[in-house]
Amino acid sequence: MTYRNFGSLPVYRKALELCHMSREIASYVSFNKNLMKLYQSNSHRDLIADSLLTDAILIPQKIALAENTSCYTERMKIATFINIMIRNMNSYCMGLEKEGVKEQEYLDLLRHEVKSFRKSFKIWRGSFSGE
């Protein structure tokens, strides 16, 4: 089944929420407030924030890509890639803690959002039908 309106797909909506929260947290914790140039920073904290933001932006794009293919194998490859990004996001939270981010509640909110997304993601991945 192909979704033309990704906004009606629960996992896609969750991915957008995760993306929004990641952008807000990256903006808050980074020293360089220009999010488009975080990758150029010498600060490890900025590089972690950039990685967080990059993965969060890629997730809804990958969901849309998977929804536009009927190939089960390709969908599963994309799902595996998304799963790696989900794990990475939890690692980025730990990295930000080690970099001295004091606002633990923000990182906990992000972890909660990742967990919520993961539940929706597992349901979505389970909906793939084999060839």
Q: Which domains does the chain have, with CATH numbers?
A: 6-126 (1.20.1440)
Band of pLDDT at residue 131, cut at 50, 70 and 90: low
* Mean pLDDT value across the chain: 90
Read off the pLDDT of each residue in 119-125 and give the average, rounded to a whole number: 96
The tokens of 55 are what? 């993965």
This prediction has a pTM of: 0.89
List pLDDT tens digits, range 61-87: 999 999 999 899 999 999 999 999 999
DSSP 76-92: HHHHHHHHHHHHHHHHH
Closest CA to 78 of 90, 68, 63, 88: 63
Give pLDDT, residue 3. Answer: 43
Read off the pLDDT of each residue in 82-109 and give the average, rounded to a whole number: 95
